[in-house]
Amino acid sequence: MEDVFLPIIIVGMLFIGLPWLIFHYVTQWKRSSSLTVEDENLLDELHDTARRLDDRLRSIERIIAADNPDFRPGQISDRSENPEYRRADEPERIENWRRGEHR
């Protein structure tokens, strides 16, 4: 009689238990990979802060342009895209940061 129950248990584990286990962890993985409400609120807050900072920078540029005729608006904010302002060791600094050697 024991010889009959063992194959039934093994087949049940293969066709019911294993797929349930796989689907359970796939669901957990998908749930954890999405943004939580707190993360979305933080991103919205950071976006608003960045927008306000950009508005302030443009206001400062307008004030400087009014005081200095040689000033070109956008000059301050263009530094990140301009290769002239990039440091020569920037790729090395980024790699050191990734390795944890930034201290």
User: What pLDDT, on a 0 to 100 scale, did the predictor assign at position 8?
Assistant: 86
54 inside domain = yes
Please indicate, yes or no, if residue 30 is contained in any of the structural domains. no
Instruction: Return the minimum-mean-pLDDT range out of 5-9, 20-24, 31-35.
Output: 31-35
Higher pLDDT, 65 or 73: 65
Question: Per residue, what are the HEC states of 58-94?
Answer: HHHHHHHHHHCCCCCCCCCHHHHCCHHHCCCCHHHHH
Q: What is the pLDDT of residue 103?
A: 45
Across the chain, mean pLDDT equals: 78
pLDDT recorded at residue 98? 62
Query: What confidence score (pLDDT) does residue 45 get?
Result: 94
Q: Does residue 98 fall inside a structural domain?
A: yes
User: pLDDT tens digit string along 77-98?
Assistant: 555 555 554 555 566 666 666 6
47 vs 7, more confident:
47
Q: Which domain holds residue 57?
A: 50-103
Confidence check: pLDDT of 24 > 90: yes
> Is 96 part of a structural domain of the chain?
yes
Domain count, the chain: 1
With respect to residue 16, please indicate whether it lies within any of the assigned structural domains.
no
Q: Does residue 80 lie in a domain region?
A: yes
Q: Tell whether 94 is covered by a domain.
A: yes
3-state secondary structure of 76: coil
pTM for this one? Answer: 0.43
